[in-house]
Amino acid sequence: MTTTFPIFKTKIAGPEEKYLLEDPVERRKYFALKAGPEIEKLKEYLDAGNTFVGFLLGPKNSGKGTYTKLFMEAVGSEHVAHISVGDIVRGTHNDLADEGKKRELMEFLSSRYRGFIALEKIFDIIEGRDTKTLLPTEVILALVERQIDRLGRKAIFIDGFPRNLDQISYALYFRALMGYRSDPDFLVFISVPEAVIDERMKFRVVCPLCQVPRNVKLLRTKDVSYDQETKQFYLLCDNSACSGFGTARLKPKEGDNLGIEAVRDRLELDRQVMAKLMELEGVPKIYLRNAIPVAQAKEFVDDYEITPAYRYEYDEAAGQVKFIEEPWTVKDDQGELSYSLLPPAVGVSLIKQTAQALGL
């Protein structure tokens, strides 16, 4: 994609305060400093029963889930939800193994689905018995409606739709299809260099319980442990809302070791969808930029907002893990030496631009 995203300034006037952004307590202080007024306005807006629909548009592994989870962490998750279309389809596959849930799903689709493929055949597609037919967009819309019904009246970020160029026309009417006729909506575009996606994939880990993602190299949790049997370092979940807080071992996803080459075709399609929707008139647009040129970093961001690279050493005598933090630079897609921003810095951009898009 050749579109140049604007650089969002998170640096504020006054003496620089440094925050440890992998620490949830420190992040709360950071968000209050960098986006306190906008957070309060968003909380008031949501507490009053208002909602919104934000469409997340970015390459695979661009951080859509991470940024919205940070938004929810700052603003509060009681009125905001993140919906992943991929997770919904996978969850539906699991529902079909339970006769009660399958019956409930059949009843829901019978009343809400409108399409040209019989429901029985749709179940074959979801369960994988029919590998030649793609799941129709009409079914995806109905499944998302079902998930929204389960969530109740909440503001939502939708991740994974539209997925291809053919679905864009559906996206234009998505809000009405879900019953959000009077709620504001906006598009969230995410720009990230391929070099960043590659590293994110190769070193990504997630909590098996709460699914919060982190990165062994680029976004560690507060606590890191060492497995003396395998001689490997691993992160422990730092999500205070998770039942595995401080104990759950974060694990890599299958196939992530291949990096960006495993998703090359997907990335190109994502770029085409983004480019098309950037031309859409009448919908507010939010631009999230992951990387910033090294030459401009001092003007726009604080040093601690720049992604460091971590490596670890184990102190046998003390029985502790030692962190070594080093600068991490990448070349962006135009070949310019750049820093990648830590997710909370991009989260600040999302918070402030969302408040602006809603006219707060």
Per-residue tens of pLDDT for the chain, all 360 residues:
445 788 998 998 876 788 988 889 999 999 999 999 999 999 999 999 999 989 898 887 788 888 999 999 999 989 999 988 888 878 887 777 778 888 888 888 887 777 777 777 787 777 766 556 667 777 888 888 888 888 888 899 988 776 666 666 666 556 655 565 577 888 999 998 988 888 888 888 999 999 888 889 888 888 899 998 998 999 999 888 899 998 999 998 877 878 888 888 888 888 888 888 888 888 899 999 999 999 999 999 999 999 888 999 998 888 889 989 887 888 888 889 999 999 999 999 999 999 999 999
Is there a contact between 357 and 186 (Cβ–Cβ < 8 Å)?
Answer: yes
Q: What is the model's pLDDT at position 2?
A: 47
In our burial notation (b when 16+ CB lie closer than 10 A, e otherwise), range 78-100 reads ebbbbbbbeebbeebeebeeeee
Name the residue ranges covered by the structural domains of the chain. 24-79+154-357
Q: How far apart are CA 235 and CA 60, in angstroms?
A: 23
Polymer length in residues for the chain: 360
Is there a contact between 314 and 351 (Cβ–Cβ < 8 Å)?
Answer: no
Fold designation for 24-79+154-357? Rossmann fold (3.40.50)
Helix-helix angle 64-75:24-47, to 10 degrees: 70
Q: How far apart are CA 65 and CA 39, in angstroms?
A: 19
Closest CA to 250 of 296, 198, 203: 203
Alpha carbon distance, N-terminus to C-terminus of the chain: 31
> What is the Cα 115 distance to its own chain's centre?
30
